[in-house]
Homo-oligomer: A and B are copies of this chain.
Amino acid sequence: MSTRHHQVADDLRRRIRSGTGGFAAGDRLPSERELSSYYRVSVPTLRDALAVLQAEGLVEKAQGRGNFVREPAPRLGYPDGPHGDLQVTTSFAQVPPGAAVAAGLGLQPGTPVTEYVRIAFRGDVPHALTRLYLPYPVRELAGAGAVDSPWGDDILGQLPRRTGVSVAHATHQVTARFPTDAEAQSLRIAIRTPVLAIERRLFAADDRVVAHALITLPGDRACVAFTTGAPGADNHDQKGAAR
């Protein structure tokens, strides 16, 4: 009762994991046409098998070059984890917020909203896409300082000094879905690679929402990690510390 493409994926996974099939980290796999004829499946079915392995982080595709066995690299951790090796690019603009974002921020109509779009790279590979929305005009927060956090924490750190508002706590909502075309392009992932979509809301001490962020993490190279106290005891003492 196993599907054909999972059978192929299982065999490839075994050969990659054991290395006995001649598939070592960094190697190029045979082309999809070769593999499909080897496994006696059609090319789309073989690509389904590769999509499974790709989502698991075992295989990496490169347009025009081939499929490669991924070097085992640690996944980028959210919300905490080492990111000293990340290069971060930021752009920002004053935007008419979409209805969802506006509702999330609880704004008066006409309030200027700034969107920061940030992409975090490890080497040449994008690992995170963050869209951070702040209910202030662009100029106030532009040129904020050293860019270091993939999630825009450096920008948030400017909030108290510039606006008198400070963030007391944050909520994070994580779902799994497919990327939009734009997200797939920014993150340079296949449109069939699942992503972790995070809605992050930042609250002031009086529980007003002071900022809102949409974060998209490629499912094959990032993971969300957090720590809680003992289960069952209603834990509101959670920490976003990874292990």
Contact = CB atoms under 8 A, between A and B. Distances in A.
Contact of A243 (B51, B72, B157, B176): B72
A181 B2 contact: yes
A156 B231 CA distance: 8
Nearest to A73: B243
Interface string A125-156: 00000000000000000000000010101101
Contacts of A46: none
Contacts of A156: 231-232
A230 B171 CA distance: 10
Interface string A1-28: 1110010000000000000000000000
A170 interface: yes
A75 B219 contact: no
A157 B232 CA distance: 8
Interface stretch (A60-68, A113-121, A220-228): A220-228
B228 A226 contact: yes
B174 A241 contact: no
A206 interface: no
Nearest to A218: B176
Interface stretch (A33-41, A78-86, A89-97): A78-86
A111 interface: no
A74 B225 contact: no
A163 to B, nearest CB: 15
A236 B243 CA distance: 13
Given A172-B225, A177-B219, A195-B176, A79 B231 contact: yes
Interface of A: 1-3, 6, 44, 51-52, 55-57, 72-82, 149, 151, 153-154, 156-157, 166-178, 180-181, 185, 191, 194-196, 201-202, 219, 222-232, 234-243
Ranked nearest first, the 7 interchain pairs of A and B with the lowest CB-CB distance are: A77-B241, A194-B194, A176-B219, A228-B240, A174-B224, A176-B176, A80-B238
